Copies of this chain bind each other. A is one copy, B any other.
Amino acid sequence: MPRILSGQFVAAVLLSFLALALALATALARGADPLPSWSDGTAKARVLDFVQAVTDASGKGYVAAPERIAVFDNDGTLWSEQPAYFQLLFALDRVRVLASQHPQWQSQQPFKAALEGDMKALASFGEKGLLELIMATHAGMTTAEFEAVVRDWIASARHPIFNRLYTDLVYQPMLELLAFLRENGFKTYIVSGGGIEFMRPWVERVYGVPPEQVIGSSIRTRYEVREGKPVIVRLAEIDFIDDKAGKPIGIHRFIGRRPIAAFGNSDGDFQMLEWVTSQPGRTLGLIVHHDDGAREFAYNRRSHIGKLDRGLDEAATRGWVLLSIKADWNKVYPSFSR
């Protein structure tokens, strides 16, 4: 029966090829570098080793998937924060748009500095000053209206130095890290001093982090029924500042369990890293050090924005990874370089 034998032979050959292709694909997938924009070195090795340890069911460092929670600061950790927090630049744009309705802003701080574009004066008002600007420029607006304003801005506004969309200034190595952690069963959260409603409209598209996994600073809101339709109105009162000791508070409030990995870049992230890494079991704390003035920005102890002082001094003794953008990342932005 040559025809049948021939058919069996063809089938066997096809099956062999299929098996070979599958084996190859699996080997390639296993061998592929999950963090190609990270240069070989201590930082990359520590990250890979941590993920290996907590996912190895037979090892001492194993952590069950539901407990694999990783928290990321946003400004200076997932995207750039120079020459100012991008949310501050957003607020300045809003101040300009709304200034004609508020003549008193010409002489009233921090609005005066905002209209004059005096970044140094503005920085001196700190995170709280930024929140004041945001509140004043968005009070009385519904959450849906605010979301539309943010969506418009993020899709069109351009960074003053790079003349690029702000979302082009996310860090490619961190996109890879977020994806790698999720592939390994982690739930990735953003824990930012920035406004929670400023981030939620775009972080899912850009970082793959859904709105319910975003923790941030917030203003108070009020539920109202307008002509039979319920709305949530944004009020001109600070509700919560998700910075410094506020970060572990926010994490506890929103997540209700202790993450095992934390990524930050400034002293505003110190307590978050402290909270995450001061518990039994395997944990990872990592600080992004902005030391690459050529490809990004170089700043640390004396910066108004993203000041890193205590973190630089204590990272080693606390066992935190101090990542050098210059040495540890071979690529900074996904689609362009400075």
Q: Is A271 an interface residue (CB 8 A)?
A: yes
Residues A274 and B225 in contact, CB atoms below 8 Å apart: yes
Q: Is A290 an interface residue (CB 8 A)?
A: no
Residue from B218, B228, B278 in contact with A253 in the complex, judged by beta carbons closer than 8 Å: B218
Q: Is A223 an interface residue (CB 8 A)?
A: yes
Number of interface residues of A (CB under 8 A): 35
Q: Is A143 an interface residue (CB 8 A)?
A: yes
A212 CA to B232 CA, complexed, in Å: 23
From A221, which residue of chain B is reached at the shortest CB distance? B249
From A232, which residue of chain B is reached at the shortest CB distance? B252
A254 CA to B275 CA, complexed, in Å: 21
A81 CA to B266 CA, complexed, in Å: 47
Copies of this protein in the assembly total 2
Please report which residues of chain A, range 238-283, place their CB below 8 angstroms from some CB of chain B when the two chains form the complex: 245-246, 248-249, 252-257, 271, 274-275, 278
Residues B212 and A257 in contact, CB atoms below 8 Å apart: yes
Q: Which residues of B contact A236 (CB under 8 A)?
A: none
Quick one: given A230-B275, A271-B223, are A212 and B249 in contact (CB under 8 Å)? Answer: no
Q: Which residues of B contact A256 (CB under 8 A)?
A: 196-197, 200, 211-212, 214
Residues B254 and A232 in contact, CB atoms below 8 Å apart: no
Rounded to whole Å, the gap between the CB of A187 and the closest CB of chain B is 8
Residue from B212, B221, B228 in contact with A255 in the complex, judged by beta carbons closer than 8 Å: B212
Q: Which residues of B contact A246 (CB under 8 A)?
A: 223
Please report which residues of chain A, range 20-63, place their CB below 8 angstroms from some CB of chain B when the two chains form the complex: none
Residue from B212, B214, B230 in contact with A271 in the complex, judged by beta carbons closer than 8 Å: B230
Residue from B212, B223, B229 in contact with A245 in the complex, judged by beta carbons closer than 8 Å: B223
A254 CA to B197 CA, complexed, in Å: 11
From A1, which residue of chain B is reached at the shortest CB distance? B1
Q: Which residues of B contact A185 (CB under 8 A)?
A: none
Residue from B66, B69, B143, B271 in contact with A252 in the complex, judged by beta carbons closer than 8 Å: B143
Q: Is A129 an interface residue (CB 8 A)?
A: no
From A275, which residue of chain B is reached at the shortest CB distance? B230
Q: Is A210 an interface residue (CB 8 A)?
A: yes
Q: Which residues of B contact A249 (CB under 8 A)?
A: 221-223, 232
From A147, which residue of chain B is reached at the shortest CB distance? B256
Closest 9 CB pairs of A and B: A211-B256, A223-B245, A200-B256, A212-B255, A223-B248, A230-B275, A211-B257, A230-B278, A232-B252
Interchain residue pairs with CB less than 8 A apart (16): A66-B204, A66-B210, A69-B212, A143-B252, A187-B212, A197-B256, A211-B257, A212-B254, A212-B255, A222-B245, A223-B246, A223-B271, A230-B275, A232-B248, A232-B252, A254-B254
